[in-house]
Structure 1
Amino acid sequence: MIAEFFRPDGRHLSKAGITLLMLPFFALIFFAFLYPLVSLLSISVLEPQPTLENYRKVVDNPIYLTVLLRTLWIALLVSLLSLALAFPVAWLMARSKGPKVAFITACILLPFWSSVLVRTAAWAVLLQRHGLINEGLQLIGITSEPVRLLYTQGAVVVAMTHVLMPFMVLPIYGALRNIPADYARAAAICGANPLRTFREVYLPLTMPGIIGGFILVFLTSLGYFITPALLGSPQEMMIATLISQQIREYLDWPFAAALVGVLTLFVTVITLAFSKVFRFDRMMGGAA
């Protein structure tokens, strides 16, 4: 019986063996993600009666469209800022060895040891009216009185970037680590300066890590809740906060489910667009 799950050489699993090992994973995906999502989306079109009125309400009301567009804009800003900050860190990690790379890696992974709530609360302390940042700005003479930093879009973007940047650093670092050092030496022998070597050698080979990190940060930002809820104002509301408001304050589950459906549609379309435009196998030199 066990032999059926192995190939004739006895060392590699057959398709049946691989399928059997994957069953717990697929069961987890179904019961923890697909089933709850489908059940929630069914509420948006079946309660209190079969209708698309909840989705029509999302499209017709400019307030909800504004919240959705703001969510996309903030997610894009966070992704771009994370990329700008993460690439130099990943580059330094890939060029370091020994205790130095261990120290940088610890600094990147250290935030994972504390909850998002704690990190967001720390930013609230820093950005408050009499917080460390305002006190510092007044001390060096940039401002004469406290500046409104908390409950702004800038506060949300900065705090979300701090929380999500490790998800950008690690894929880029993995891509940089896989580039042989001989490529840079070969480019130098051919007369390429460091800037051209980076543009024509490192950047194309790092693109899978950049795109993977960008997608991960962008899609995570779309559904972020804790940081916008604590650091943003009602004027800076994002779609996750709006969904929570509809459930907790108005008990409007069908409309909240419709918002979830719209967000799911956007995430699916964006993911498919990325997978269509950026072919990872081609960028890695594989077959088309």
Structure 2
Amino acid sequence: MTKRPTSFTLGGRTYSPAASLLLATPFILVMILAFLLPLFTLLHESLSVPKFNLDNYARVFDQEVYLRVMLRTLRISALVTIAALLLGYPLAWLIARSRGLLLGLLLIAVLLPLWTSVLVRTYAWLVLLQRNGVVNQILTALGLVDAPVQFLYTEGAVVLAMSHVLLPFMVLPLYAALRGIPDDYMRAAQVLGAGGFAAFRHVVLPLTLPGVASGCLMVFLLALGFFVTPALVGGPQQMMLATLVQQQVTELLDWPFSGAIIGVLLAFVLCLVLIFNRLIRLDRFVGQV
């Protein structure tokens, strides 16, 4: 049975499907003109230059240098996702259990980086991690190292800086999931004899898995296309796909091949989203938050 379109309620007012579509028209036009049209044009060039073929896509997988960049991008994105989860879950737990002034301060600490340019935050890491930066000065003053350590232009620096930039996108879904769990659940588990960790593992963690999955998916997908932070903090050995696309477009003027790289990345992202949605039903979780 075909599901009829339902009305949309906002601020106590109910809008018909036609009115809802009219309200969304500016956003739809912007998405078509600024995103979909350029994307499809680039994908069309990757397939039809000089005639319809898959040579550009075969080139992505045939040459070892491009495969290394793809695998490096996947590895760094996975490490960033794991680091953001390990850092973000305790922070989200603390925010969900806080009240009053402390809650406001913690939320500001999470949201404030989103209002700051990614370029500014990346340059802050450059200041911290350079050879004469704050971190090396502290290590030298404490006598832990005899000479400055090379932190910049390493994969570790890229993972660290990207984890900091993308941390809010992990914390916010986790916070939404944790806030939806009544405090009575933990107390009931403890009354029944479960310890603190057992109650968390059997009660809280399963209920927050949709938030974990949505946060991991969001961070991983954003990390796949990150450009500024890897380009500034990393070196040539840490090149990622976004930097490779920029190099192909601005230096080599190879638009068809850059379109093929984007096409491969787009296909991977779509498959990943479909798998996640089928396994954990992200749409159902979003509707409940």
**If the length of structure 2 is used for normalisation, what is the TM-score?**
0.91
Q: Which residue of 1 aligns with 2:238?
A: 236
**Is 1:207 aligned with 2:199?**
no
Letter of the 2:259 counterpart: A
Q: Give the distance between the partners of 1:6 and 1:84, measured in 2 at CA.
A: 40
Structural mapping, 1:50-69, within 5 Å:
50-69=52-71
Deviations 1:74-127 (A, max 9, x none): 000000000000011111101111110111111111212221111101111111
Equivalent position of 1:44 in the other structure: 46
1:262 aligns with 264
Instruction: Quickly say closer, same or farther: Cα 1:195–1:232, change in 2 above 3 A.
Output: same
Q: Where does residue 157 of structure 2 map in the other structure?
A: 155
The answer (yes or no) to whether the contact 2:214–2:282 under 8 Å persists in 1 is no
Alignment of 1:119 onto 2:121: yes
Q: After superposing the two structures, state which structure 1 stretch, 188-197 or 83-92, moved more.
A: 188-197
Partner of 2:37: 35
User: Which stretch of the first structure deviates more once superposed, 47-56 or 139-148?
Assistant: 47-56
Residues 1:102 and 2:109 are matched in the alignment: no
Going from structure 1 to structure 2, the CA distance change for 1:40 and 1:161 (only over 3 Å counts) comes to same
Note if contact 1:204-1:283 (Cα within 8 Å) is conserved in structure 2.
no
Deviations 1:196-227 (Å, cap 9, x if unpaired)? Answer: 11011111111111111111100000000000
SS in 2 for 1:120: helix
Structure 2 unpaired stretches of 5+: 1-5
Q: Matched residue of 1:51: which SS?
A: coil
CA drift of 1:21 comes to 3.2
The whole-number CA distance in structure 1 between the counterparts of 2:150 and 2:98 is 40
Q: 1:281 deviation in Å?
A: 7.0
Cα distance, 1:251–1:282 mapped onto 2, change above 3 Å: closer
Which residue does 2:72 correspond to in 1?
A: 70
- Cα distance in 1 for partners of 2:285, 2:194 equals 21
- Alignment of 1:172 with 2:202, yes or no, is no
Report how far residue 247 of structure 1 moved: 0.8
Of 270, 273, 283, the match for 1:271: 273
Residue from 22, 25, 28 that aligns with 2:24 = 22
Contact in 2 for aligned 1:152/1:233 (Cα 8 Å): yes
Amino acid at match of 1:233: G
Q: Counterparts of 2:33 and 2:56 in 1: how far apart (Å)?
A: 26
Where 1:148 maps in the other structure, the secondary structure is coil
Cα deviations across residues 231-288 of structure 1 (Å, max 9, x unaligned)? 111111001000001111111111111111111111111111111222347879x9xx
C-alpha separation between the residues in 1 aligned to 2:49 and 2:113? 42
Aligned to 1:13: 15
Is 1:129 aligned with 2:157? no
Cα deviation code 1:162-213 (max 9, x no counterpart): 0000110011011111111111121122111111110111111111111111
Q: RMSD of aligned C-alpha atoms?
A: 2.1
Q: How far apart in 1 are the matches of 2:52 and 2:36?
A: 21
1:247 aligned residue: 249
The answer as to whether partners of 1:179 and 1:202 remain within 8 angstroms in 2 is yes
> Would the aligned equivalents of 2:276 and 2:282 in 1 still touch at CA under 8 Å?
no
Decide which moves more: 127-136 or 46-55.
46-55
SS at match of 1:37: helix
Counterparts of 2:196 and 2:283, CA distance in 1: 27
Aligned-pair identity (%): 51
Q: Deviations over 1:26-73 (max 9, x none)?
A: 333322222221111111111233221111111100110110010000
Aligned counterpart, 2:218: 216
* Matched residue count: 279
CA distance in 1, matches of 2:259, 2:282: 34
Q: Would the alpha carbon gap of residues 6 and 66 (structure 1) be closer, same or farther in structure 2, given more than 3 Å must change?
A: closer
TM-score (norm 1): 0.91
